[in-house]
Amino acid sequence: MEDIKQEIEELRAEIRRHNHYYFVLDQPKISDQEYDQLMQRLLKLEAEYPELVTANSPSQRVGGEAIDQFEKIEHQIPLLSLAKSFSKEELREFDQRVQKSVAGRVEYVVELKIDGLSTSLIYQDGKLIQAATRGNGLIGEDITHNIRTIKSIPLNLEDELDLEVRGEVFIPLDRFVELNHRRVEEGLSRFANPRNAAAGSVRQLDPKVAARRPLDIFIYDSTYIEGQQFKTHSERLDYLEELGFKINPARKVCTEIEEVIEYCQNWTAEREELNYEIDGIVIKVNRLELREQLGATAKHPRWAMAYKFPAQQQETKVKDIEVTVGRTGALTPTAVLEPVLLDGSEVSRATLHNQDYIEEKDVRIGDRVIIEKSGDIIPQVVEVLVEKRDGQQESYHLPQSCPVCQGEVSKVGADYRCLNNNCPSRTEEKVKHFAKRGAMNIEGLGESLVEKLLENGLIADLADLYYLDQKDLVELERMGQKSSQNLLDAIEKSKENSLSRLLFGLGIHHVGSEVARNLAKNFSNLDEIIEADQEELTAIDGVGPKIAQSIISYFSQQENLEIIKKLRQAGVNLEAKTVKQDDLLEGKKFVLTGKLADFTRAEAKREVTELGGRVTGSVSGQTDYLVVGENPGSKYDKAQKLGVEILSEEEFKNIVNS
């Protein structure tokens, strides 16, 4: 028994160490498989000896018991908010106020202002015992059960200390895009932005839901650390970093306000490079003694200031609301806008997500609204200027029948869905999905060409792509001999794709690329999957009863079996032994910088992970390749300095398409 106990303790220590390398330092030391093996061994031992399971074992991150309601928690020291500045002049005024109240030179620490949710974490004897939301600053809610699922938060510290740290919980941008992507694939509605997604995730009663959300945290402050007296905030952050907390690396000590201003200006330009959203810069007096002297007003400390970026927002008018019908039949409302320039590009449409969103924001046709855009995220309406209404505005409700096929519409969760499987709009979306990069990757078969093929009756479903005739194609507008041949070649090439690409491409409800990959790994061919029952399917990683049901239902529909039959006759690969090398980039680490012309960040990342590689956020000695798009940031200089291999977009494309 003692032996087992010791092995369990050693395993836990090792897993904790690797969590730290992977989730905090972004520098894994072992492969995912090796990590899984350690975790499997721990889970096995803990299952055999349940009396040895402890609440803070790394195995317990996946989510414990659900709670009935959130308990209120009174903060020992209130969580204040920050006063805001919007210009250099205001920052200089802040500096003058500070200088006037204290003697001698003042040093500042500047940090990124992460756009997430502020959270307090309390440790006792080195163990995380409580996590709470900010709430109204005085009283927050107990979210310990969800916060424990965040792998960059240590559950146990090496030293048995009592302390409180505060930080910002957020969702990285690439993971946010993936999360929304997965939700759409699974027929769920999108989150409006990463902050909302993070807020919704930490306020779940069931921690298993939070465990599936890509939450992360940066710690930016501490109110007490047992036995430690620091002179400066920067020393305290360095110490917290040593304890294993994730501290943002962009922090900097500045000796004068002009240096602070320069930092703010640099980050205004470079923030697009980050893989998380920031809404400004926080400027803090570094010496803790001076902070005491400066004190606070009822709301804000006098020793800190938030510099807010000029908003990437614009006012415009909602001219109309249009509806599109997606692959799964979901009706998505889109605001048609008076075109405005935002973040360098013209915006004339913004997503309204679903009926609930329209009602929550009370968006009406004819309203003046504020729209916002950031990163890869589709422009959206963030606010209605109710005071600008003149009585001409019309409320809007999604139609009761499908605007494309007039079929029956039914409410499923937050979505209204067209129930007609043969709705032309759904077919169109299915073919577009089939052809796209993450699915069958048919080069040259973009959205407008799919529309043309359907309009001209050259195809009626996705399998018809494999029966196209060149003499019909050349008849199409802007389709010569050469481009039609290229298209046919690309379609021909796609026949060799892996089964997982095909499975994902079929667009089965709830079957995203990850589930598709797991299915392809566990069956020898498509026929086995078609014949699999609920039990066999739910035995697969990531496949629950809902997904299993969806797969069974898909393959029980005659029209889908017809499609499979046509694919088979055309010679499309239905076998699981991968024809294409799926581990071409096994173990390779990529970093992306600048804007890529043909990929969003999330797409580029998916390409790399599909081939077994990994994309990390920052360049280090461990990085194998830096992929450089337009207007690269400082990562480019760093990669050159470290001698990391630099790839142009063209070179990157060649690798992922090879």
d(CA 618, CA 640): 13
d(CA 481, CA 129): 69
Measured CA to CA in angstroms, residue 605 lies from 6, 50, 175 at distances of 40, 39, 10
Interaction of residue 165 with ligand IVH, rule CB under 6 A:
no
Q: Count of CB atoms within 10 A of residue 643's CB?
A: 8
Interaction of residue 108 with ligand IVH, rule CB under 6 A:
no
Interaction of residue 109 with ligand IVH, rule CB under 6 A:
no
Report the residue from 39, 80, 102, 294 that binds ligand IVH according to the rule CB under 6 A. 80
**Candidate ranges 79-87, 230-238, 361-369, 498-506; the one touching ligand IVH (CB under 6 A):** 79-87
Report the residue from 216, 221, 372, 428 that binds ligand IVH according to the rule CB under 6 A. 221
Q: Which is nearer to ligand IVH, 169 or 321 (CB)?
A: 169
113 Ramachandran zone, left/alpha/beta (phi>0; psi -120 to 50): beta
Instruction: Look up residue 62 and give its DSSP letter.
Output: G
Interaction of residue 78 with ligand IVH, rule CB under 6 A:
no
* 286-305: contacts with ligand IVH (CB under 6 A): 301, 304
Which is the catalytic residue, given 113, 246, 430, 589? 113
Interaction of residue 81 with ligand IVH, rule CB under 6 A:
yes
Interaction of residue 82 with ligand IVH, rule CB under 6 A:
yes
Interaction of residue 111 with ligand IVH, rule CB under 6 A:
yes
Which residues on adjacent β-strands are paired with residue 166?
Answer: 120, 221
Report the residue from 306, 474, 479, 552 that binds ligand IVH according to the rule CB under 6 A. 306
**Least separation in angstroms between CB 386 and ligand IVH:** 26
Q: Which is nearer to ligand IVH, 108 or 220 (CB)?
A: 220
| Residue 446 token pair | 């973009």
CA angle 544, 546, 547 (to 5 degrees): 70
Which residues on adjacent β-strands are paired with residue 128?
Answer: 123
Closest alpha carbon to 607 in 489, 447, 439, 486: 439
Give yes or no: 113 in active site.
yes
Q: Which is nearer to ligand IVH, 134 or 373 (CB)?
A: 134
Measured CA to CA in angstroms, residue 483 lies from 122, 458, 559, 598 at distances of 63, 16, 31, 19
Q: Which is nearer to ligand IVH, 109 or 363 (CB)?
A: 109
* 129-148: contacts with ligand IVH (CB under 6 A): 134
| Residue 428 token pair | 């169109």
Interaction of residue 114 with ligand IVH, rule CB under 6 A:
yes
Contact of 8 with 46, CB cutoff 8 Å: yes
d(CA 152, CA 245): 7
- Residue 580: strand, helix, or coil: coil
- Residue 369: strand, helix, or coil: strand
**Least separation in angstroms between CB 473 and ligand IVH:** 54
| Residue 521 token pair | 């790994």
Contact of 532 with 503, CB cutoff 8 Å: no
Interaction of residue 168 with ligand IVH, rule CB under 6 A:
yes
Interaction of residue 223 with ligand IVH, rule CB under 6 A:
no
Q: Which is nearer to ligand IVH, 111 or 415 (CB)?
A: 111
**Candidate ranges 64-72, 73-81, 174-182, 428-436; the one touching ligand IVH (CB under 6 A):** 73-81
Query: By rule CB under 6 A, what count of residues binds ligand IVH?
Result: 16
Q: Which residues bind ligand IVH (CB under 6 A)?
A: 79-82, 111, 113-114, 118, 134, 168, 220-221, 282, 301, 304, 306
Q: What residues are labeled active site?
A: 113
